[in-house]
Amino acid sequence: MDKTNADKQKLLEKYPALQAWLGQRGQKRRPQPRRWFLPAAFLLVIFAMCVNTYGINIVEFYNEIGKVADGAEEKELTWYEASEALVEHWTDKTVEEMAFKDLLVELHGLEMRLLDRHFVRDADYSYSIVKDNHDWLQFITFEAQPREIVRRIEILQDLDIPILYVQPPTKHIEGYTEFPVTLNDHSDENVAANFALLDEAGVPYLDLRQAAEEDGLDKERMFYRTDHHWRVETALWAVGRTVQEIEELFGWQLDPDGDFCDPANWRKTDYGQNFLGSQGRRVGPYYAGLDDFTLLTPLFDTKFQTELKQHTGELKVFYGDFVTTIIDKTLLTEPSVYTNRYGAYWGADYPTLLADNLNNSRGKTVLLIKDSYGLPYGAFLATMVDKLYMVDLRYYNIENLSDYVESVKPDLILIMYC
């Protein structure tokens, strides 16, 4: 008699009523069925992940090996240093190309939401997500050195061209935003450090955080909940405040009648619950929810020629109205909420670009040194100047900046690179 039967017999002897109730059923012994479901599901999952991660990206992974080999040769790495570099690249590429990544991130976000977590750690700590007291998603801003462009502002000062530094509002708003107690945000300290250097150098600056407070901007509507950028509407307001500041500082009237900066002169196209910003993409829509996106396009007549310098060095030229030359409609029509709607202005960040406003050939030439905050800001500003040059210092070597400035000869340099 095997152990199961012996146990069964013992129990049935102990409880005769049970034996009576069960009748003959208790006596039957079925063979234990073989388990298929979990092992099969496990194999299915790991093989599906394998094929969809490596199988369909095999060329890219192969190229990665080539890249590392070239780099190793160039840097004269030893074989094991090259191996370490290859492993590092391969690992990063694997995580990047991981199959079903969006779905899995959404599942993780859902889990975090059900667990009511306010902090979702990322492998790169600086991209960890914090849910603040208004349920906005935030990155943590760490204590940082002032920006290089601020530390080396004399590069621009030596050119003897008026400069205005524009500090956009930070998503962590002093007195409004609260982080969980274990986390600290250093946005304000970093801005103060920038301002201290600008004061020292005698460069004027416009603090849009303070301006927003003065103008009583609705804090709830200043930023996307799921993106680290300001809303497009906030960017239009910021252009208005910049134009005022330019008039006060330099006496130039970029928008003499206030028409260009008047929201009433801009068409609003709403894309409700259609945008998952850069922060939301790290945790998925179940954790973050979705944002409404509003596209602002001018109701007045516009005519531009734009020249967008690609990362490859290729120049793309467009001619036509605001929508034809500045708006990338594909980023609005793409149904996936993961599409970066905010990038619809210009379509991407380019090392340099020129927007030549053909309706304002007697206006000013402005150079905007910018990061991604400058995308809608630059687009709106372009309607008020003759020529707007934009340089993105993330993709443009600061060492070549003064040569570039001299070549484009702007009347004003705006710096909005935070």
Q: Least distance to another protein from the beta carbon of 161, Å?
A: 44
Residue placing its CB nearer to another protein in the complex, 37 or 361 = 37
Q: Least distance to another protein from the beta carbon of 50, Å?
A: 4
Q: Least distance to another protein from the beta carbon of 126, Å?
A: 12
Q: CA-to-CA distance for 269 and 381, rounded, in angstroms?
A: 19
Residue placing its CB nearer to another protein in the complex, 57 or 244 = 57
Binding residues for another protein (CB under 8 A): 4, 7-8, 11-12, 18, 22, 25-26, 28, 30, 32-35, 37-39, 41-43, 45-47, 49-50, 53-54, 79-80, 83-84, 87, 90-91, 94-95, 98-101, 104-105, 107-108, 111, 115-124, 180-182, 282-283
Q: Which two tokens stand for residue 193?
A: 């450090």
Q: Least distance to another protein from the beta carbon of 97, Å?
A: 9
Residue placing its CB nearer to another protein in the complex, 90 or 271 = 90
Residue placing its CB nearer to another protein in the complex, 129 or 379 = 129
Q: Least distance to another protein from the beta carbon of 395, Å?
A: 24
Residue placing its CB nearer to another protein in the complex, 28 or 362 = 28
Residue placing its CB nearer to another protein in the complex, 179 or 404 = 179
Q: Least distance to another protein from the beta carbon of 125, Å?
A: 8
Q: Least distance to another protein from the beta carbon of 220, Å?
A: 24
Q: Least distance to another protein from the beta carbon of 60, Å?
A: 14
Residue placing its CB nearer to another protein in the complex, 39 or 256 = 39
Residue placing its CB nearer to another protein in the complex, 22 or 315 = 22
Residue 179 Ramachandran class (φ > 0 left, ψ -120 to 50 alpha, else beta): beta
